[in-house]
């Protein structure tokens, strides 16, 4: 029988091979098991001597399914720490990438079996890798494991660092699309903030330009989903969906044209337009899970915002009543709702029954809004210049007066 004497540097790897091999051959009896275990250990040692780290990882992973089912979490974590550490042994980027793929693929095979531990192992592998694209691929595996294993809460905090991750990974447009869409799905499945899920879905849609019309076809369903999520969300009143080609393609689509019309109403029109649309398409709206009463509430707030964007800066109570289709007694309560939602900064002149608006949120912020903003900034700049000129003009006589008083005192 061959006796393997591992070197101190590779002792842990050989120990893992021996451990997993003994588990695999445990039911065969010592006469059959021992030769097989020794054979695998010799093979592992040869891999290390020849620098065949990918083959070594494959050897250690052979009985990975048995490890997950038979050993404690502590031992399991130790075993995979050794396996993952193999990616630090090689200097060949391609080999490192293949090892990372092999290890992560094995870890995510049974997502419902100790998913939190599997995710922890993937995070360890991620931190051991020094290849940016390898890190990206492991992160994608982690996202899918989080969804399938229902452990999204462990990975959601990392979403705050996505911008820095993107700089590090330097991935192409297709990988970015996959990343943004998967993150959006993770947030949706985990019942996290609808606004956060929508943000990443919008990032996904924004990657499509008018030039790649063929590629945009794949985004139709997600574009429609984005519109529905925006309309459903009670705390979202502004978006850039109308400016995105991926959303614009819905306008002429037989299946999703109504969804695009709904978006246009919420972004550019008022309550009366929505009520007319709903009366003609109530069944379609229900099929998208939209609740009519919730849509009315949101549309009233957005209509009020539209009234507040007028150049006069004043909204008569009567106009609010008629536009929102409410009673006179409810006018002020809707203004308060708009203020609470941070859609308006205003004061209510109850004596004159007028709302005086100092700021309002724009539903869309496109070219027209930039022109208006530019005009307001120019006016502000001119006013500031006039104030400075007035102060300087008044300062000269004051200085002269003080000088004369000084002469008189002497």
**What pLDDT shows up at residue 39?**
82
In a domain, 246, yes or no: no
DSSP assignment of 356-401 equals: EEEEE--S--SHHHHHHHHHHHHHHHHHHHHHHHHHHHHHHHHHHH
In a domain, 191, yes or no: no
Q: What is the DSSP letter of 113?
A: S
In a domain, 357, yes or no: yes
In a domain, 300, yes or no: yes
361: which residues sit within 8 A by CB, 6+ positions away?
Answer: 237, 238, 305, 342, 343, 344
Tally the domains of the chain: 1
Q: Are 257 and 251 in contact (CB under 8 A)?
A: yes
In a domain, 122, yes or no: no
Q: Which domain covers residue 331, as residue numbers?
A: 290-382
d(CA 334, CA 326): 9
In a domain, 304, yes or no: yes
Name the strands in the sheet holding 314-316, side by side, starting at the edge strand that comes first in the sequence: 314-316, 354-360, 344-349
In a domain, 303, yes or no: yes
Q: Are 140 and 149 in contact (CB under 8 A)?
A: no
In a domain, 88, yes or no: no
List the pLDDT tens digit at each of the 410 positions of the chain. 334 344 444 578 888 888 877 776 666 666 777 777 788 888 888 888 888 999 999 988 887 767 777 788 888 888 899 999 999 998 899 999 999 999 999 999 989 989 999 999 999 999 999 999 999 999 999 999 999 999 999 999 999 999 999 999 999 999 999 999 999 999 998 877 789 999 999 999 999 986 677 888 889 999 999 999 999 999 999 999 999 999 999 999 999 999 999 999 999 999 999 999 999 999 999 999 999 999 999 999 999 999 998 767 899 999 999 999 999 999 999 999 999 999 999 999 999 999 999 999 888 755 555 455 465 566 667 777 677 878 877 775 655 555 555 555 44
d(CA 216, CA 187): 23
Q: Are 23 and 65 in contact (CB under 8 A)?
A: no
**What pLDDT shows up at residue 1?**
37
Q: Domain of 315: which CATH number?
A: 1.10.10.10
């Amino acid at each position: 029988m061959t006796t393997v004497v591992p070197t101190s540097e590779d002792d842990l790897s050989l120990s893992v091979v021996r451990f997993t091999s003994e588990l695999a051959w445990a039911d065969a009896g010592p006469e059959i098991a021992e030769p097989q275990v020794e054979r695998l250990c010799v093979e592992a040692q040869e891999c290390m001597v020849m620098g065949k780290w990918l083959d070594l990882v494959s050897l250690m992973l052979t009985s990975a399914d048995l490890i997950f089912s038979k050993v404690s979490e502590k031992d399991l974590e130790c075993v995979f720490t050794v396996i993952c550490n193999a990616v630090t042994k090689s200097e060949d980027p391609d080999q490192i990438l293949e090892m990372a793929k092999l290890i992560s693929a094995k870890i995510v095979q049974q997502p419902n079996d100790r998913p939190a531990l599997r995710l922890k192992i993937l995070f360890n592998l991620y931190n051991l890798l020094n290849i940016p694209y390898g890190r990206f691929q492991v992160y994608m595996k982690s996202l899918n494991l989080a969804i399938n294993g229902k452990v999204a809460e462990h990975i959601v905090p990392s979403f705050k660092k996505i911008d820095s991750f993107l700089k590090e990974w330097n991935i192409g447009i297709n990988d970015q699309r996959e990343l943004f869409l998967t993150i959006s799905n993770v947030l949706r499945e985990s019942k996290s903030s609808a606004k956060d899920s929508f943000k990443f879905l919008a990032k996904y849609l924004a990657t499509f330009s008018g030039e790649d019309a063929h590629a945009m076809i794949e985004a139709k369903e997600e574009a429609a989903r984005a519109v529905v999520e925006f309309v459903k969300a009670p705390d979202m009143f502004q978006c850039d969906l109308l400016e995105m080609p991926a959303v614009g393609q819905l306008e002429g689509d037989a299946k999703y044209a109504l969804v695009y019309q709904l978006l246009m109403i919420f972004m550019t029109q008022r309550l009366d337009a929505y009520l007319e649309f709903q009366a003609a398409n109530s069944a379609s709206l229900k099929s998208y899970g939209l609740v009519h009463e919730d849509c009315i509430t949101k549309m009233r707030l957005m209509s009020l915002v539209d009234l507040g964007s007028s150049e006069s800066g004043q909204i008569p109570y009567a106009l609010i009543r008629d536009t929102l289709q409410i009673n006179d007694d409810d006018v002020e309560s809707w203004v308060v709702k708009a203020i609470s939602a941070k859609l308006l900064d205003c004061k209510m002149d109850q004596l004159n029954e007028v709302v005086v608006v100092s700021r309002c949120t724009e539903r869309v912020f496109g070219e027209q809004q930039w022109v208006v903003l530019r005009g307001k900034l120019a006016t502000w700049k001119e006013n500031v210049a006039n104030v400075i000129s007035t102060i300087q003009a008044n300062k000269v006589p004051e200085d002269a007066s003080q000088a004369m008083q000084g002469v008189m005192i002497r």
